[in-house]
Chains A and B, each alone.
Chain A
Amino acid sequence: MAEPGKVDPMHQFTIEPLFGTDQLSIAGYNIAFTNSALWMAIAAVALWLFMLGGMKRQLVPGRWQMAVESATGFIDNLLSANVGPAGRKYVPYIFSLFMFILFANLLGLLPLGLAGLHPFTFTSHFTVTGVLAILSFSIVLIVGFWRHGLHFFSLFVPHGTPWWLLWLIPIIELVSFMVRPFSLALRLFVAMMAGHVLLEVLSSFVIDSTNAGIGYGLAIGGPSFILMVAICALEVLVAGIQAYVFALLTSLYINDAENLH
């Protein structure tokens, strides 16, 4: 194994219990309040404050209300474009999903490390994104079977399937359907984790090269630092895109459940 560097890029994903290690447990499993849970709570509170400031229903909206209204309008458009009129009732779910993931991704990027606080991106854990994906997938299943009953299985036979391919197409469709929650969860978790590992690796370049001497620091650390700043900007973009992609794919899957193919 290679010699581990001074900066461990995986250390930032460690889950540390904050309190309740001894007393809080359900059926023998410890449910201590961890840093992951703390940042979920912070994301939820930030989202709540954001909505609270914009729900004053003023006739002439101020800046804050415009921000909230453009966010809700964005999700409303997304659903009406992808699902149609039946999509309106999913606006609360998709909106909460989108904003929660967006706030989580952005809060994890805050440079609070300068003040000694270490932001924790809980969307970089498969357990968290997995639960969100299972939530979306079970809504698709429940809505599909509720609305169409066993006719929902016709999802696996698209229109215009030639009869001599009937043995193959349903299998492919079934696999692509069952893999959806995994791909949904995996995409968000890996995208966030990869970005944070990349930033950490670049920061280790800066630290290690500067420790090796001023010449190395200027030659290697300087360009690495500039690249790091640029990657930070890219990460803000990725945080938005991944939240959008999660909401978009969920709405597409809901479209399958509402309207079949």
Chain B
Amino acid sequence: MDAEAAKLVGAGLAAIGAGMAAIGVGNVFGSFLESALRNPAAADGQQGRLFIGFAAAELLGLLAFVVAMILIFVA
């Protein structure tokens, strides 16, 4: 495999990371909704923590995107 093809394959593999981050983000919001329906009164107070968890899970997917961009355009 020549280097250009390897770069594109690597960029494609980085998309797996984006999919994994999608699972993570879905998990964060899903778990939040599940417990918010059990105790709706306490849900509003936890919104900050919801977005902290969202941000942490999302960042790793964005890093996968950065890896793909670096492979295609920089490396």
Contacts and interface: CB of A to CB of B under 8 A. Distances in A.
Q: Do A and B come from one complex?
A: yes
Secondary structure of the B contact surface, majority rule: helix
Given A1-B4, A190-B65, A190-B66, A78 B48 contact: yes
A241 interface: yes
Interface in A196-218: none
A11 to B, nearest CB: 13
A52 to B, nearest CB: 30
A10 B52 contact: no
Contacts of A187: 55, 58-59, 62
A186 B51 contact: no
Contacts of A183: 59
Interface string B25-55: 0000000000000000000000010011011
Interface residues of B, number: 14
Interface in A68-116: 78, 81-82
Secondary structure of the A contact surface, majority rule: helix
Interface residues of A, number: 18
B58 A191 contact: yes
B23 interface: no
Interface stretch (A31-39, A137-145, A164-172, A242-250): A242-250
Contacts of B54: 241, 245
Listed from nearest, the 7 A-B pairs whose CB atoms lie closest are A190-B62, A245-B55, A187-B59, A194-B65, A1-B4, A183-B59, A190-B65
